[in-house]
Chains A and B, each alone.
Chain A
Amino acid sequence: MSTPSVLESGLPEAASLSMRPASLVMDLERLGSLHQSRLSFMRSLVRRIMRERWQIEPQRFDLDADGYGTVIYRIRTRSDLFSFVLFSQYLAPEKRNDRVIASEWDLTMALCEGEVEDAYVDYLRRNVPLQEAGRLDAKVMVLSRANRSVRNFDSVVDALAHGRQPEIAQIAKVGYLYRTTAVYGSGKLGMADWEKVSRKHPDFARPFAAEMFTCFMLRNFSLQQAEFIARRRSPATAVALEPRLKRYFGIGNSTGLGMAPYLINHPQLISRWVEMRELALARILASAPVAAERLERLPQLVDRAIRHLEENFTEDEWQTGNNQRVLADLQALHEHLDRHPLQSWQPLLEWAQRHASLQGEELINCILLELHPDLVDELEDRLALPEQLELDPEMPVIRLKALIETSYDWALAIDFNADGAQETFWYRSEEKQEPRLGNCSLDEGREKQMPLGIGYLVQQCYQRITEYLAEHPQHKVARFLLRHPEQRGIVRRIQGMALTHYGEIRANLLDRDVLPMHLLRCKLSFFGVSKFDPRSRLWVRNTMFQGAPLLEDIGHPFDDDWFLPLAPTQEKS
């Protein structure tokens, strides 16, 4: 009863090209070293918006002098129509909380199908500001909220009102006016299911496209709102943001543990994202000869990466150290390139593997992706897939055992009896079902833990299988599961994941010293964020869409070159 794989990329070259092995790529620390690339969801969304010239205009802009009120944007794509509805309300500074358990926000917003009538806007006004405490319907695709940056918002408005551009040094430090703390989609709170969105609205049929678009709209609104308040405050002196500076503003994001279980609970999707990135890299390495203009552009991008990192600000000691190492890597690379001009990419990769840190090596890979849009960009359409872990009851148990030995050798190699190897457990708190980490010796609730310790579960399953085979060497999985029903979930996962190229993230997530930060960064890099600024090992601030085009840039020539954005130089007045 073997099931045809829904997972294979459908690209025969994935089997013929030399791709990096899963043992290397799926290492947790490496996944936690990834950066934004051309394949990141924000990048492909912006390419689509600019290429297809989406028409995005405020249909209603009812704000008072302080910027509070209702705003509705109408979005006309090539074949569809959407509305982005935003409610701005006063929030006392002490209520600005980056946690999911907060209950009030400066901005709340919803992305909806089609036009929204007044009665529907009233319905949204009753529910959207409540976020998880409200209810929505299947016309709504995304729900989000955001808080003003205490460090930036007032000072930017103040500067504009006085006829000045804000200080670039300050913007380089905190590259946004608002920070979002949640972006919900995929049927949550009654919204449209992913299946509906992906089938009915091809514009948003790529992973997290509607969610990323919501953040893009939030970023544009934040800039329009700041200019609007400045104008109302001081009509005689106010100025608009200078376009290059305006583009340098992104939207902030604050991500906590909630993202971590997603990576474990959607392993086929994560495998596919990694596979497409690796396939892009493999294509680039296999392409020869390398055109001279690409070889010439490499040092320019290395320089840009150096400047970008120099402008990267974090108070976190660990991330500061990482950034410093990557800076040193890039400076060394620059010197190396001066002495050893390249003819192909292979020597570059070999240099990176030998000399660079993990984050440095992965940044060099992203630069390579940047140099080859022709080989990379089309893979963005292969990042979505129908997720389905299928049980194969017909498989002989002895084959299942062999499958574990080959695909999960990393899990069998973990010593779960070692000190601290089972000390962490992951659970859902009664507060908004927020995921949290517990310590087995200090916290209650281990019996309610989420089954995220895949390595441990696989090892337990392997032991049961070994015992069972001693008695029933000829049996099939259906009979094994009749005897051991508690193994049903992990057997299905093992069989399903065996069909993937990259499979599982290779780590013991139960270890005392597990770093959830790596999981967060992995997913965020696929989203396309930059400027990781960890606030602890459990959550991270970052910046979205920094350097991306603005609404007013749509319709003008677009060079997709907002990778590693740099602070513009300030004009002296």
Chain B
Amino acid sequence: MLISANELTALLKRVFEGMGYTPGHYEDAAALVSWLQLHREDGLGELERALDLVADRDRQANELVAEGPATLIAECHGRSALNCLPILLELACVQALEQGSIRVEIQHCHNRKFILKLLADCARQGLWAQARWENGHDPVRRHVARIEAGAAYPTYREYRLPDHLPQANRQSLTLDLGTVAHPQPELEVGAAREERCVTPADFTLARQQALENGTEISPALWQRLNQLAEAVLVESSERSRSCAGGR
């Protein structure tokens, strides 16, 4: 079924609010999922696959493990990017603007693809940004997204790594940020084979089409999300009806 962007975001806000995300966080999480979905990068699929992970109110909070003059290492304790990345990216942006550039290592974080929207936010603040993470088993895929300062969209590439290559850091993500005065590091792909490249033009077109025609969601997932969103609703009673602004 087709849904609008506004409807998608509004529903996701209620879903995350119902999961216990506080104001400020549920809007961010909804925006991250919507962004991927509206740019044809399957935000809803990513969310559906990770629904058990994103309701992580019982997980340990984000932690800054180490801070150097040009580095930041954060431990997310298995949290979803939906609730740990925005706040870490903001801190990284502040450091990058102060120092010129910074490398951030984020450990034990799920759903790292949601960083794509945050890269666009960094670019809007006048920073270039590059994110790299690996995912999957046999084959392992490397994901790289780069954006220029001031650009609206990143270029996002997926590479297939040579078979049987062990993954060094499970669920980690490396992020480089910098001002235009500092050069963006060269992309190191080694023996990796490029399988997919999404350009800024592709993102632009996807967004235009989603706005023109709506975005697709499976009725089953739509129903599931609506059920999750019911957590924000209060049971009705005769007394509550009398306080509803009606007769």
Contact = CB atoms under 8 A, between A and B. Distances in A.
Q: Real complex partners, A and B? A: yes
A186 interface: yes
A199 to B, nearest CB: 8
A487 B235 CA distance: 28
B214 interface: yes
Contact of A190 (B2, B212, B231): B2
B46 interface: no
B6 A489 contact: no
Interface stretch (A214-222, A426-434, A466-474): A426-434
Contacts of B5: 187, 193, 195
Interface residues of A, number: 66
A481 B234 contact: no
B62 interface: yes
Given A1-B97, A428-B232, A430-B235, A482 B64 contact: yes
A5 to B, nearest CB: 14
Interface string A488-527: 1111100000000000000000000000100000000000
A187 B213 CA distance: 11
A196 interface: yes
Give the residue among A3, A190, A442, A490 with the most B Cβ atoms within 10 A.
A190
A186 to B, nearest CB: 6
A548 B5 CA distance: 35
Give the residue among B27, B90, B94 with the most A Cβ atoms within 10 A.
B90
Interface in B82-98: 87, 90-91, 93-94, 97
B69 interface: no
B197 to A, nearest CB: 27
A444 interface: yes
A190 to B, nearest CB: 6
Interface residues of B, number: 43
A287 to B, nearest CB: 40
A226 interface: no
Contacts of A362: none
A76 B245 CA distance: 38
B25 A428 contact: no
A366 B56 CA distance: 53
Contacts of B62: 482
Given A188-B7, A189-B7, A394-B94, A539 B232 contact: no
A485 B90 contact: no
Contacts of B213: 137-138
Given A187-B4, A486-B22, A196 B212 contact: yes
Given A196-B212, A431-B236, A448-B232, A257 B24 contact: no
Contacts of A200: 212
A190 B216 CA distance: 10
Contacts of A485: 22, 24-25, 61, 87
Interface in A433-490: 433-439, 442-445, 448, 451, 457, 476, 478-479, 481-482, 485-490
A192 interface: yes
B73 to A, nearest CB: 14
Given A188-B6, A485-B87, A445 B235 contact: yes
Nearest to A2: B125
Contacts of B246: 97-101, 256, 538-539
A53 interface: no
A476 B239 contact: no
17 contacts: A99-B244, A137-B213, A186-B6, A190-B214, A192-B4, A195-B211, A256-B246, A258-B245, A391-B90, A393-B94, A436-B244, A451-B23, A479-B91, A482-B87, A490-B24, A491-B24, A516-B245
Closest 6 CB pairs of A and B: A488-B24, A489-B23, A187-B6, A256-B245, A489-B24, A187-B4
